[in-house]
């Protein structure tokens, strides 16, 4: 068994005293792809945001270890530099900041943190153009303001591009399939699949099973009302698609895994 | 005349002394100067009871005694940081209100234009100025314009002959070298772009060293029929300085004028732009950026008058306020009777970086025509926290993220600057003024 990248134990979190995550336990190891599925309002996005360090949410109990370190003690930018990446469900538009500048600033911040020399303009451009091929992205988008005027599909591709440029150890994809047509979905999924590797863990947060036809997970976890109520292999996703979430609700956490 | 308004005595005595001198006061100008000083005596300095000055207290100017500034002699190295590089082949420099020929530069050959000191021209060929000088900026309604009109001794005159296209910016620089005692200068600029000409003008107002002084500047710019004029006014006075600037723009038929006001310096600043679209089919863009910190106060006062039909005006001002600074934006659009098919749009967006900073923004529309389109909008906000989190989640530190977003907000105004050297210079100035701006080194 490979080393755990992410270990979540009894995580409780919420907003202004309203508890959303009610005791999450989850271990993701290097090389694995896990999926968190669940109905709307189950806490999927909250989990993704808490892992990325969003200060809107308060952690009230539990711990999260990332490569053995206390993740919750780190600022969002430290987490990113340590190799945690969140692909946003709603990527933010930033007027006046060119995509190329944004990517270069981010990459060089991460490189400096990791003790690497910052890339100069030529090296950076070579790298980013190479990674753009991964998600079939138009190079002209580099000269546009970050996400401004991007279509839904372009925004999601831009998220995967950032992931490919920053090369995280743990990538969390939050509803990456939402708002994508089938062609765009395939492109984005291909991009993610090419990022799969023995040193990297990927957590796919999604409402629908559709994305998991393309990004086939090693493990599937069902999140209902802030708790993981069931875990299993990739078959679990299909079962959920057929029977809906109603079938799994109310089952105790830690129910026996299906398959694998 | 009844009792004099407070704070005006010094000026009236000074004017009496000035009048006894010979030169710089041709027959057609003398009565105007006299009318201006008596109008000033009647009005006195504005107070906060005046609607147009509601948010700006000029008592520190009214109550102070300023001596007329003496000539000073900075070297080329002192002013080099303010210059625009090799493309600016025409440059006229004034120090403490006095022409500095050694620092000035006039292109020869095809770029040759009429660029000279007003004082020299008033002495040698004053009639060349009679048609325009003091004919636009209204001293009857504005105490500071009245003072400038009464007192100006020197300044720049630029004439672009009809049909001429001037490559490269024409740079007018006004430096103040603060002395031991507070000083005042009244720089005056007259720009005449004759019909069909094209040119770019940059006015720079800057302090060389810290100290208290008062710059009371008036610019009159005439855009002739079909001319295309780009005008920039960069204000970088000392943060203890008082700066009152009146820019009076007068547009003739089918002229296209863009005027950019970039206010970065000064302690107490009034930046006034009064544009009159006095011909059919004029295009007018007023773009502004003010970046304030500490105790700086900047009052942007705009008046756009659509006097003829089919005029198009755009006002876009952006403010960034930190510390205990105070900003004011007043944008008045006046559409005269008969100025049909006017299309006027005004926006003012402000970013507050501290709880103590304050902005008052007010649009004022006076419309006397019935087939017009006038819109206005103002926003006041803080830096977007969602955007900060997005940047942080990509490894960019919180200070750099905040700074980047503030920079990006200002960059939207700088984007419109067409002179590459000026744009780069403004970017560098901005980064130097922003908290944690040095963290944005990737911008270089």
Q: Under an 8 Å CB criterion, which residues of B touch A?
A: 384, 386-387, 389-398, 400-401, 404-405, 407-409, 411-412, 415, 440, 442-443
Q: Do B393 and A97 lie within an 8 Å CB cutoff?
A: no
Average pLDDT, chain A: 91
What stretches in chain B show pLDDT beneath 50?
1-5, 444
pLDDT at residue A252, as a whole number: 47
Interface test with A, best of B393, B427, B430 (most A CBs within 10 A): B393
Distance (Å, rounded) from C-alpha B424 to C-alpha B427? 5
Angle made by CA atoms B71, B265, B314, in degrees to the nearest 5: 115
Q: Which CATH superfamily groups domain A4-247?
A: P-loop containing nucleotide triphosphate hydrolases (3.40.50.300)
Residues across chain A: 260
**Which residues on chain A are in Cβ contact (under 8 Å) with B440?**
105
ipTM value, please give it. 0.94
The per-residue pLDDT for B112 is: 57
Q: Which residues in chain B have their CB less than 8 angstroms from residue A54's CB?
A: 389
**B394/A79 touch (CB, cutoff 8 Å), yes or no:** no
- Residue A160 contacts B where some CB pair is shorter than 8 Å: no
Taking CB atoms and an 8 Å limit, are A77 and B395 in contact across chains?
yes
Residues in chain B within 8 Å Cβ distance of A106: 391, 394-396
How remote is the C-alpha of B47 from its chain's centroid?
21
- What pLDDT, on the 0 to 100 scale, is given for residue B86? 85
> Does the beta carbon of A245 lie under 8 angstroms from any beta carbon of chain B?
no
A53 touches chain B (CB under 8 A): yes
Question: Given an 8 Å threshold on Cβ–Cβ distance, is A79 in contact with B384?
Answer: no
SS3 A119: coil
Q: Indicate the domain borders of chain A.
A: 4-247
Q: How many CB atoms lie within 10 A of CB A105?
A: 24
Residue ranges covered by each domain of chain B: 9-279, 391-444
Residues on chain A touching B443 (C-beta within 8 angstroms): 101
Nearest C-alpha in A relative to B398? A77
What pLDDT score does B1 carry?
Answer: 35
From the list A54, A102, A110, which residue is nearest B389 (CB)?
Answer: A54
| Residue-level pLDDT at A74 | 98
Calpha distance A125→A131 (Å, rounded): 10
Residues A138 and B116: their CA atoms lie apart, in Å, by 52
- At A237, list the tokens: 């996703």
What tens digit of pLDDT does each residue of B269-283 get?
A: 999 999 999 999 999
| Cβ–Cβ under 8 Å, residues B297 and B56 | yes
Three-state secondary structure readout of B218-257 = EEEEEECCCCEEEEEEEEECCCCCEEEEEEEEEECCCCEE
pLDDT tens column, A149-158:
999 989 999 9
Q: Given an 8 Å threshold on Cβ–Cβ distance, is B389 in contact with A105? A: no
Which band of pLDDT confidence, cut at 50, 70 and 90, is reported for residue A244? confident
């Amino acid at each position: 068994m490979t080393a755990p990248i992410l270990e979540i134990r009894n995580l409780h979190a919420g907003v202004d005293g309203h508890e959303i995550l009610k005791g999450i336990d989850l271990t993701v190891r290097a090389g694995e792809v896990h999926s968190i599925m669940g109905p709307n309002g189950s806490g999927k996005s909250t989990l993704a945001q808490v892992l990325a360090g969003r200060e809107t949410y308060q952690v009230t109990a539990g711990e999260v270890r990332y490569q053995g370190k206390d993740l919750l003690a780190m600022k969002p930018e430290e987490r990113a530099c340590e190799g945690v990446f969140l692909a946003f469900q709603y990527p933010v538009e930033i007027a006046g900041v060119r995509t190329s500048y944004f990517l270069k600033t981010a990459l060089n911040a991460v490189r400096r943190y990791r003790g690497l020399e910052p890339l100069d303009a030529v090296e950076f451009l070579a790298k980013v153009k190479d990674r753009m091929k991964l998600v079939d992205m138009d190079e002209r988008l580099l000269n546009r303001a970050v996400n401004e005027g991007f279509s839904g599909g372009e925004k999601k591709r831009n998220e995967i591009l950032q992931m490919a440029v920053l090369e995280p150890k743990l990538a969390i994809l939050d509803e990456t399939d939402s708002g994508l047509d089938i062609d765009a979905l395939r492109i984005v999924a291909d991009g993610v699949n090419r990022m799969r590797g023995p040193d990297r863990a990927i957590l796919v947060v999604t409402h629908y099973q559709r994305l998991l036809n393309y990004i086939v997970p090693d493990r599937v976890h069902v999140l209902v009302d802030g708790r993981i109520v069931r875990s299993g292999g990739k078959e679990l996703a299909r079962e959920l698609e057929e029977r809906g979430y109603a079938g799994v609700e109310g089952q105790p956490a830690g129910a026996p895994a299906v398959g694998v | 005349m009844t009792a004099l308004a407070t704070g005006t005595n010094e000026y009236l005595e000074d004017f009496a002394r000035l009048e006894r001198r010979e030169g710089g006061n041709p027959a057609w100008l003398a009565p105007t100067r006299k009318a201006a000083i008596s109008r000033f005596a009647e009005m006195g300095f504005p107070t906060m009871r005046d609607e147009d000055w509601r948010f700006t207290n000029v008592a520190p100017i009214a109550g102070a005694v300023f001596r007329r500034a003496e000539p000073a002699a900075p070297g080329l190295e002192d002013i080099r940081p303010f210059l625009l590089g090799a493309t600016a082949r025409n440059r006229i420099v004034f120090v403490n209100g006095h022409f500095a020929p050694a620092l000035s530069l006039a292109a020869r050959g095809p770029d040759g234009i009429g660029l000279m000191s007003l004082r020299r021209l008033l002495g040698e060929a004053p009639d060349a100025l009679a048609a325009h000088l003091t004919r636009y900026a209204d001293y009857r309604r504005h105490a500071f314009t009245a003072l400038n009109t009464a007192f100006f001794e020197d300044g720049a005159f630029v004439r672009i002959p009809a049909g001429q296209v001037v490559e490269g910016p024409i740079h007018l620089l006004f430096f103040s070298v603060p002395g031991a005692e507070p000083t005042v200068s009244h720089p005056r600029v007259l720009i005449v772009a004759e019909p069909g000409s094209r040119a770019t003008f940059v006015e720079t107002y800057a302090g060389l060293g810290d100290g208290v002084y008062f710059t009371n500047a008036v610019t009159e710019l005439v855009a002739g029929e079909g001319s295309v004029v780009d005008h920039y006014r960069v204000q970088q006075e000392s943060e203890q300085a008082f700066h009152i600037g009146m820019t009076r723009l007068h547009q003739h038929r089918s002229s296209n004028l863009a005027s950019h006001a970039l206010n970065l310096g000064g302690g107490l600043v009034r930046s006034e732009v009064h544009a009159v679209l006095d011909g059919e089919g004029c295009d007018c863009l007023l773009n502004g950026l003010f970046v304030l910190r500490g105790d700086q106060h900047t009052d942007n006062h705009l008046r756009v008058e659509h006097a003829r039909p089919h005029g198009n005006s755009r006002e876009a001002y952006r403010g960034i306020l930190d510390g205990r600074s105070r900003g004011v934006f007043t944008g008045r659009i006046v559409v005269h009777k008969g100025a049909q098919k006017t299309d006027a749009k005004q926006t003012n967006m402000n970013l507050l970086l501290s709880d103590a900073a304050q902005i008052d923004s007010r649009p004022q529309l006076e419309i006397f025509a019935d087939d017009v389109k006038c819109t206005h909008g103002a926003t006041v906000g803080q830096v977007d926290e969602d955007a900060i989190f997005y940047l942080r989640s990509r490894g960019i530190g919180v200070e750099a993220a905040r700074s980047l977003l503030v920079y990006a907000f200002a960059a939207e105004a700088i984007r419109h600057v067409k002179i590459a050297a000026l744009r780069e210079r403004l970017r560098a100035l901005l980064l130097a003024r922003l908290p944690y701006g040095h963290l944005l080194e990737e911008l270089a």
